[in-house]
């Protein structure tokens, strides 16, 4: 057995024992590795950074999917940017009222590798009749598509915007949102990546009627709680009552392992140091 040492931060990180290497692809500009670990199951890494593990992937993917869909309340068209493993797609597809799901992934080879070696992530969701799968660069797709969406979910804003200004991706997403639409995106861990959170805050400020962040505790998210950007065209979307969320959740018929309406509301309560960093701190 060998070890996998994550290369996200210098001088600090997490280590996984590789019980069996399933797939390695060093072709092109990105390095994909998928291996088995006795404790965390199948682990997906990209460019030396753990993307998710079989044991805890449900946390981030439930929070990326169910929070915007249930906050919207009438989401019919959902766009997923990135997410080659199909885990976000899996969660979105659980909402029977969603009529169309568009998934845009730039890397066809990574998509096929995930289908082959991580079938438990998608659990058949790639066969959903509502899916419109597009192999395309995210920025190009957003700039050229004539479609509008109720919810847009970015698997990781930094990853999908690697070759573009992230601000332009936020702007392109905003142009493709219907009235009342919501954008969410995985950003990173504020404790270790506070600059990324601050950058996202500056880019969303003035672009959305309501912008904020929410968090979730993901054990293999190195550096603490993971943060997600929130941009809504209607400020009321973030101010729903527990009763309303509970009714929508029960009506959806979706069964979850992490998300519930109480977690939904609590996730938007940010630590003071994060609020100070994004200019939303208050002493009250």
Contact 131, 101 (CB under 8 A): yes
DSSP single-letter state for residue 268: T
Contact 224, 192 (CB under 8 A): yes
Q: How far apart are CA 112 and CA 108, in angstroms?
A: 6
Q: Does residue 30 have a known ligand-binding role?
A: yes
N residues, the chain:
284
Rg, C-alpha atoms of the chain = 18
Helices (H), ranges, 75-144:
87-93, 108-117, 119-122, 138-144
The residue written with tokens 């976000």 in the block is 88
Q: What is the dihedral of CA 131, 134, 137, 142, to 10 degrees?
A: -60
Q: Does residue 33 have a known ligand-binding role?
A: no
Q: Does residue 175 have a known ligand-binding role?
A: no
Helices (H), ranges, the chain:
57-72, 87-93, 108-117, 119-122, 138-144, 157-160, 166-175, 194-204, 242-252, 261-267, 272-277
Q: Does residue 47 have a known ligand-binding role?
A: no
Q: Does residue 56 have a known ligand-binding role?
A: no
Q: Does residue 85 have a known ligand-binding role?
A: yes
CA angle at 52 for the pair 141 and 161, rounded to the nearest 5°: 30
Hey, what are 250's tokens? Answer: 């029960």
Q: How far is CA 30 from the centre of its chain?
A: 19
The residue written with tokens 């979730």 in the block is 216
Residues annotated within a binding site for S-methyl-5'-thioadenosine: 30, 105, 137-138
Residues annotated within a binding site: 30, 61, 85, 105, 137-138
Residues annotated within a binding site for spermidine: 61, 85
């Amino acid at each position: 057995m060998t070890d996998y040492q994550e290369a996200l931060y210098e001088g600090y990180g997490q280590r996984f024992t590789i019980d069996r290497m399933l797939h390695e692809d060093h072709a092109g500009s990105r390095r994909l590795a998928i291996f088995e670990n006795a404790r965390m199951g199948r682990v997906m890494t990209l460019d030396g950074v753990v993307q998710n593990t079989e044991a805890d992937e449900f946390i981030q993917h439930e929070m990326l999917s169910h929070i915007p869909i249930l906050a919207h309340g009438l989401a019919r068209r959902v766009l997923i940017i990135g997410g080659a493993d199909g885990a976000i797609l899996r969660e979105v597809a659980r909402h029977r009222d969603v009529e169309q799901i568009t998934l845009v992934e730039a890397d066809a080879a990574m998509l096929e590798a995930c289908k082959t070696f991580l079938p438990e992530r998608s659990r058949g969701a790639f066969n959903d009749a509502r899916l419109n799968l597009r192999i395309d660069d995210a920025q190009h797709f957003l700039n050229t598509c004539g479609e509008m969406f109720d919810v847009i979910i970015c698997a990781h804003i930094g990853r999908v915007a690697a070759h573009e200004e992230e601000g332009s991706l936020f702007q392109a997403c905003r142009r493709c949102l219907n009235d009342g639409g919501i954008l969410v995106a995985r950003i990173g861990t504020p404790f270790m990546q506070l600059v990324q959170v601050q950058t996202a805050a500056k880019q969303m400020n003035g672009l959305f009627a309501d912008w904020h962040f929410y968090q979730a505790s993901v054990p293999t998210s190195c550096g603490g709680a993971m943060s997600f950007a929130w941009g809504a065209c209607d400020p009321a979307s973030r101010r729903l009552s527990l009763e309303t969320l509970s009714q929508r959740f029960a009506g959806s018929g979706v069964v979850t392992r992490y998300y519930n309406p109480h977690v939904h509301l609590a996730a938007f309560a940010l630590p003071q140091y994060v609020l100070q960093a994004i200019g939303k701190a208050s002493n009250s």
